[in-house]
Amino acid sequence: MKKNILLAAGLLFSISTQAQLLDIIKSTVKDKTGVDLNAPVKTKGVTSGTTTSAPSSNPVSSSANLGNLTSTQISSGLKEALNLGVTDGVKKLALTDGFFKNEAVKILMPEKLRKIDTTLRSIGMGSLADEGVKLLNRAAEDAVTEAAPIFTNAITSMTITDAKNILLGTDNAATNYLQSKTQSQLFTAFQPKVKASLGKVGADAVWKNLISKYNTFTGQSVTTDLNEYVTTETINGVFKMVADKESGIRNTPAMRTTSILQKVFGAQDRK
């Protein structure tokens, strides 16, 4: 025990002596150089041990970039882009072969009826299958003209509460927003027009004959709702064209043909 006490006392004496020597060294340095070793060290970007945050790589935020635009202006710009997409898209799709020779939107044989296509071709009736597909596209080309006012009304009545997020979103964010808000309404309004077009171009008669021959040959009883299928595919085709137009306006300044498009999407460029 006595030995331990002596060791502890020696250790305390050693520490105390070191502290006194350190104070003497600091005092001497201050007298000779004027440098106070007790003062906190200051370095660039560091004060009192706290690191200064590095400047942001993007000093101007997206919100600041759009700060001079009102929500109304942003909404107007987005709606104009969508209207241009619909107008331009419908105009192209309504031409003969607008659907049929555009691989991006061409309406193919309904998936559940593709076995009919294979079977008919295997018995030398490929021309009938081709005619069936062609007339589905002809019906879409005829009906799509009627879609313009439906789409326009949907765009006009659209309330964009999150306009800035849409503007600063993906290349087809506005189109996706419009589609999510109007798909069911558009289907209900557009379906009767597609049904009329299927009859007008003779697609319903050809498909009735096509399915009848398949059922006779195979002994099966296949049916499908062509009206629902063509309606869905026609609407999807228009949205595809609108998305392409929106992407073009977002990424190609030359496609911004009005002042509001230039102002709104010019701000988007700086996001």
Q: Which residue has the tokens 């949205």?
A: 239
pLDDT for 158: 78
The Cα 79–Cα 156 span in angstroms is: 7
Q: What is the mean pLDDT of residues 19-47?
A: 48
Domain extent listing, the chain: 69-269
| pLDDT confidence of residue 271 | 62
Q: By the 8 A CB rule, do 233 and 192 touch? A: no
Q: Report the predicted TM-score, pTM, of the whole model to 2 decimal places.
A: 0.71
Q: Work out the percent of the chain whose per-residue pLDDT is above 90.
A: 40
Rounded Cα gap, residues 170 and 161, in angstroms: 17
Average of per-residue pLDDT values in the chain: 78
CA distances from 123 to 114, 116, 215 (A): 15, 11, 13
Who wins on pLDDT, 68 or 35? 68
Measured CA distances, 127 to 2, 62, 130, 215, 226 (Å): 114, 56, 5, 17, 19
pLDDT over 80 at 32, yes or no: no
More confident residue, 177 or 4: 177
